[in-house]
């Protein structure tokens, strides 16, 4: 027995939305990681140049202390932000959601059991996804592109573009329908 096509389409849409979301977030965290690595390259190069300029260690003592302090500060901030870990996590999740999307697309005449297995895979991936580490700009962009195309988005992304907004009534627009006699 084939499972409901509409539910399969929704699952595919959500999986593809999360693939795009994770891919863009991977790019974001890759840039952040790069921004932390470049200053460390420069400080290491500066240490090398300063130490090779003179033979007297006392002359370069203060510059070495300053450069070491800057390096330690950058490393500490990098360890707190964990850009490398987030980059790897979103890269892995992007691939996992892409594989799930491909699996959904390739399954013809999906049975209820196959659908539940794919849904379980989707839910397991969702629990690993740290939505708080995704910039709002990326969430909004992906959610808007999918909802504008009439495609489904995950519940976690439903509220990011205010598609839950309720139209307000204006009292000036109200008309009196009946009068008290």
pLDDT in tens, 38-75: 999 999 998 888 888 877 778 888 888 899 999 999 99
pLDDT at 150 > cutoff 80: yes
Question: Is residue 128 classed as helix, strand or coil in its secondary structure?
Answer: helix
Q: What is the mean pLDDT of residues 4-9?
A: 87
Q: Look-up: residue for tokens 């990098």?
A: 78
Q: Look-up: residue for tokens 């539910």?
A: 7
């Amino acid at each position: 027995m084939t499972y409901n096509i509409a539910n399969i389409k929704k699952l595919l849409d959500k999986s593809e939305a999360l693939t795009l979301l994770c891919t863009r977030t991977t790019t974001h965290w890759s840039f952040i990681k790069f921004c932390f690595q470049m200053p460390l390259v420069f400080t290491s190069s500066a240490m090398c140049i300063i130490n090779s300029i003179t033979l007297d260690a006392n002359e370069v003592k203060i510059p070495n202390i300053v450069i070491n302090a800057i390096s330690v500060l950058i490393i500490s901030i990098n360890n707190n932000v964990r850009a490398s870990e987030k980059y790897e996590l979103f890269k892995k999740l992007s691939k996992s959601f892409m594989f799930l999307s491909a699996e959904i697309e390739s399954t013809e005449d999906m049975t209820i059991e196959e659908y539940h297995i794919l849904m379980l895979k989707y839910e397991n991936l969702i629990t690993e996804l740290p939505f708080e580490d995704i910039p709002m700009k990326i969430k909004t962009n992906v959610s808007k592109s999918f909802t504008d195309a009439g495609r489904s988005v995950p519940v976690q992304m439903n509220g990011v573009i205010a598609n839950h907004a309720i139209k307000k009534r204006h009292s000036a627009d109200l008309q009196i329908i009946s009068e008290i006699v």
